[in-house]
Amino acid sequence: MKEVTKYLRKKVLVLGLAKSGVTAASLLHKLGAFVTVNDKKPIAENPEAQELVEQGIKVICGDHPIELLDEGFELIVKNPGIPYTIPLVEGALEKGIPVITEVELAYQISEAPFIGITGTNGKTTTTTIIFDMLNAGNKNPLIAGNIGTVASGVAEKARKENVIVIELSSFQLMGIEEFRPHIAVLTNLYDAHLDYHGTKAEYAKAKGAIGKSQTEDDYFVYNADQPDVFELAKQSKAVLVPFSTQKAVEGGAYIEDGYMCFKGEKVIALSDVVLPGKHNQENILAAIAVSKLSGVPNEAIHKILTTFTGVRHRLQFVAEIGKRVFYNDSKATNILSAAAALNSFEKPTILLAGGLDRGNEFDELKPALKNVKALITFGQTAPKLERVAKEAGITAIKRVDNVEAAVPAAFELSEEGDCILLSPACASWDQYKTFEVRGDMFMEAVHRLK
C-alpha cells in the first residue's frame, strides 16, 4: 500500500455500509482520518456497524439525517447503491463536499496498476476471463470489485508486481476523480439502471468516466460494433483498441476466417473455444485484446479458452443427463440477457423463466424463442411470459411453483439432444433473495435428477 497522508486528521463520512463501507471505514481509520459511519439499518440489526464501533469508529444508524452536514465533513465516501438524490448527498454536493466511491480510495492507495472493466452486459464474464488469462500468463493478477473482494481491501495488500482486474458498475464510476486504469474496457452499452441515472445519456456518461483520467500511456478497449461505445471511447486520451465480431478492425481484436485474431495474428480457432454464445465472442475478444496488451502468450490464452465453460450463474454448464444438457443462466435478470442466452443455442430448448414483475411486457423476447419447444414458468411474471410464448407458437407450456419444481417438469417435456436452460428474464426477489440463490436451487434440482 502506498504511503498516503492526505486523510490524516481529515473528517470523513462513510455513507452506507455493506462490505465496501466497512472496508473503506476501517482503511480511512488506519490512515488517520476522523471517520463517522452512517447507515440506514438500525444498529441492533447491524453487525457491521457494531464491528466498527469496536474499532473506535463513530457510527450513526437508523437514518441519513441531514444534520450530519453541520459537522464539517471534508469528504464523503458513498456506497454505490445509495442514490445521489437523497437529501444528505444533494446537500453535500451543494456545499461543495466531494462525494466519492470506495473504488477511488482503492486507486489512491494502490501500488498496483488497474485493468477496469465496465459495460451493460458481459462485465463479469470478461473480468473473469481476463483474470484467468493473466494468471495463466504469470502476470500476478488480483481480482476485485463486484466480482471479487472489495477494491480497497485488495489494493491495501497489492504490490507493484501485481495488477488489479476490477469489474466496475456505473454507480461506482460516478464517484471517481483520479481513478485511472492502465487498461479500460467498455464491453457494450444498452438501456439499463434508468431508475438510478434518469436518462440513457447520464448512464452513458457514468460508463464513459472509466477513461476520463487516462493518458496517452494507457489503453481503452472498446466495442467497435456500437457507435455509442465508440463515442465514449474517443473521450479518453488513451490508445484506442477496438474489438468486433462483425468486421476486421485495425489495431484490435476480431474474427476472420474462423479465427479470433489480434492485430493480424491468429490467436485461437473459433472451433476451439468452448464457451457458447455470440455475446460471449464479444467478451472473449475484449479479453484477448487486454491479455495481448499485457504480454500474455497465445498458449496461455488458448489454455483458458479451451477449458472456460462460464461464470457461475452466467450461462454456466451444469450437467448432461440422459443426453440432455442443462445450463444455469440465473444472472439473466432482464429480457436482453435472456435473449442473448437463447440465441446461443441452435438445438431445441426447454426454457425456464419467470420472477419479479417490474411492470414490463416480454414481447421483445419473441424473436429469441425460435428454438424454444417448451416453456416452464414460475413467479409473478408467469402469465406474461405464457402469453408471449403462445403468440410465438409454443404450445408446450407449464406453470410450476418455483425453480426447483421447474427442473423435473422440464425433463419430462424434453427429449434426447435438447437443452434445458434456466434464463429467467426477471429479477429473483419475488421468491429468492438473490439470483445466486435461485441458480443454486436450479443446480441442486438438476443434480437430484441423477
| Binding-site residues for ATP | 119-125
DSSP state of 237: S
Please, what sign has the CA dihedral across residues 34, 39, 42, 43? negative
Fill in the amino acid letter for 308: F
Cα separations in angstroms, 218 against 117, 118, 127, 179:
14, 16, 18, 13
Give the Cα separation of 49 and 76 in Å (integer).
17
Give the Cα separation of 324 and 417 in Å (integer).
5
β-strands 11-15, 34-39 pairing:
parallel
Give the DSSP letter string of 2-30: ----TTTT-EEEEE--HHHHHHHHHHHHH
Order across the sheet with 141-145: list the strands: 141-145, 163-167, 114-118, 183-186, 219-223, 239-244, 253-256, 259-262, 265-269
Query: Cell for 156?
Result: 491495501
Query: Cell for 391?
Result: 403468440
Fill in the amino acid letter for 280: N
List residues bridging with 316 in a β-sheet. 328
Give the Cα separation of 382 and 146 in Å (integer).
30
Buried/exposed 206-244: b ≥16 CB within 10 Å, e otherwise:
bbbbbbbbbeeebbbbbbbbbebbeebbeebebbbbbbb
Give the DSSP letter string of 370-383: TTEEEEEE-STTHH
Neighbour-count burial of 265, counting CB atoms closer than 10 A to its CB (0-12 exposed, 13-18 middle, 19+ buried)? exposed
Give the Cα separation of 104 and 80 in Å (integer).
12
Cα separations in angstroms, 427 against 18, 84, 119, 270:
21, 23, 19, 33
Query: What residues are designated binding site?
Result: 119-125
Do 320 and 310 meet the contact criterion of CB atoms below 8 Å apart?
Answer: no
